[in-house]
Amino acid sequence: MALPIPGSDGIPKNAIVHGACGSWWTGAERSHCGGCCRTFSSLTAFDQHRKGGRCNNPATIALAARQKPHGTLWGWPAPIGGYTGPRTRNDIEEAAA
């Protein structure tokens, strides 16, 4: 399988490609597990996945799957109300309208 090339193949120029599996992602704060080739949204989520020195199934350790253009990204669940929930008075009024 040919590896995707950032800036072509329909993936962004700033994408990071893992040569072993061909997975790609964007964002320097992401962590890709060399053991199971899952991608995590943050180091703390990755640490949780690797707790005990093994690959824990993210679904069983309270991480949430988000579908991104590059595949599944595992991260902490959104706060109550969600990241996209109303944040300002205007937003709340708009949401209620």
CA distance 32 to 92: 36
- Give the Cα separation of 62 and 47 in Å (integer): 13
Residue 3 in the binding site for Zn ion (CB under 5 A): no
Q: Which is nearer to Zn ion, 47 or 93 (CB)?
A: 47
Binders in 47-76 for Zn ion, by CB under 5 A? 55
Residue 36 in contact with Zn ion, rule: CB under 5 A: yes
> Per-residue x/- marks for Zn ion, 77-96, CB under 5 A?
--------------------
Minimum distance of Zn ion from residue 96's CB (angstroms):
43
Who contacts 27 (Cβ-Cβ below 8 Å, separation ≥6)?
Answer: 41
State the number of binding residues for Zn ion (CB under 5 A). Answer: 9
Binding of Zn ion by 16 (CB under 5 A):
no
Question: Phi first, then psi: what are they for 28, rounded to 5°?
Answer: -65, -20
